[in-house]
Amino acid sequence: MALFKKERTFWVIFDTSQYPAYYRDVHDLIAAPKGYVLRYQYRDALLAESAWEHVQANRELPILFLYAQKSSEYRREETKSLPSNDNAPTLFILTRVGRMRHMVREGGKVYFDFEVESYPDNNKATAINELMSPLVSSSEVPWTKWVTVSNNYELFQQLCAGSDEDNWRCLVELLGKSPIQFANDAFWRIKGPFLKNGKVVSAAARKVKVNGEVRRITSEYRWKENSLGFLQLVSSAPTQVSPHRPQYAVEAKVSGSEKLKIVGSGTYALRHYDEKPIEYTTLEMSPFRTDSADLILQTVPTSESWTAGPRLEMRHVIRKGHMISLLGIASGLAGLGLTTLGGSKLFENDALNGVKILLIGLLLLTGAKYMLTGKLEFGK
């Protein structure tokens, strides 16, 4: 994806993760595969004045995401976490790069649907300071504003350099170090999905409309029946971890349909700097019918409120190929016609040709059944 086209402006969006739902947002943000669409929401008051022009124009600009917190330990309560020192300086960590896909303003809030892309380089300290200085000076950072824009696209491009693997490991080191709230959590991300031959299956945008107006954009992965696919589960851990840190794993399960099946146990232990496949398959579908299934990836163990890692729901839409469906129906109709013709009185005096036509019709019916159902038996 070309992050910059004609525009030379980009969004700068901050997470502070002081509430359970927003805490999980950061985990999901850094775990989601490229092209996956997520949604954030912010109250109007949290947007900088410079951002409103772009909200009103619904501009699909690039995004730089940052996590911000006070440089102190946080005290976690049931519904909110609080810094032990409100006067401590604010720390900023670059988390992800993305592109805005859609915005909706409603009820005093702005809803941002965005597509995630690469991981930024937190080692570029000079570029980060040059980017943040004018935003800090104009009070366009937490704890005043959470959404703003910047025109320093050269700095943005510098921060997008480097490999995802290196930038991801650096990000995990920063987020997993005390006093950051995420210390001792699980860190993993998803690459793919891929077909059996290794070809990536790109996320497709699904527009949710109300009265003809787009109210939300989500992502889905479109698969044909009888396909074997896989995700690559990449895990990492900071260099120093607490001896009390749990042994985390990812559980994979399917919801919403029986047409998507996990291959294997569905539980994948998370190790330091590891990568392993999560395999799954789609099953036979009826002609001209689609089915939707959510492939859910959940960190375990975790709590119901403050999650210890990501939880992703990847929508898969499964269907039979339209060409196969059309060919199956055409073969069935032709087969029915030929079997009727071959057994008709027209061939009373030409039994040999009648049998030939009848056999051709039966073969076409057999082929039609296989194309439409994937089965050859006729007794059930």
Q: Per-residue pLDDT averaged across 88-99, rounded?
A: 97
The position carrying tokens 């959404």 is 147
Pair (176, 191) in one structural domain = no
Looking at residue 204, what is its pLDDT?
Answer: 95
- pLDDT recorded at residue 20: 95
Of the residues 320, 339, 361, which one is the last residue of a structural domain?
320
Question: Are residues 140 and 46 part of one domain?
Answer: yes
Structure tokens at 190: 């998803």
Same domain? 311 vs 338: no
> Quick one: 54 and 143 in the same domain?
yes
Q: In this structure, is the dihedral angle defined by the CA atoms of residues 370, 372, 378 and 380, taken in order, positive or negative?
A: positive
Chain mean pLDDT for the chain? 90
Query: How many structural domains is the chain composed of?
Result: 3
Same domain membership, residue 176 and residue 117 = yes
Per-residue confidence (pLDDT) for residue 306, from 0 to 100: 93
Q: Is residue 379 part of a domain?
A: no
Q: At 287, which CATH number?
A: 2.60.40.10
174, part of any domain: yes
Residues 326 and 264 in one domain: no
Yes or no: say if 115 and 217 are a contact pair by the CB < 8 Å rule.
no
More confident residue, 334 or 153: 153
43 within 8 A of 109, measured Cβ to Cβ? yes
Is-above-0.95 flag for pTM?
no
What domain range includes position 292? 186-320
For position 6, what pLDDT does the model report?
A: 63
| Cβ atoms of residues 66 and 15 within 8 Å | yes
Element (H, E) at 167: helix 164-175
Ranges assigned E (strand) in 198-283? 204-210, 213-224, 228-236, 249-255, 260-262, 267-269, 274-282
What is the model's pLDDT at position 176? 95
281-312: pLDDT as tens digits = 999 887 767 899 999 999 999 988 899 999 99
Quick one: 157 and 32 in the same domain? yes
76 pLDDT tier (thresholds 50, 70, 90): very high
Report the distance separating Cα 144 and Cα 140, nearest Å: 6
Torsions phi, psi for 371 (to 5 deg): -65, -35
Q: Are residues 297 and 342 in the same domain?
A: no
311 and 219 part of one domain: yes
Tell me if 90 sits within 8 A of 70, measured CB to CB: yes
173, 86: one domain: yes
**% of the chain beyond a pLDDT of 70:** 91
For residue 378, being part of any structural domain is answered with no
Tokens of 306: 């403050």
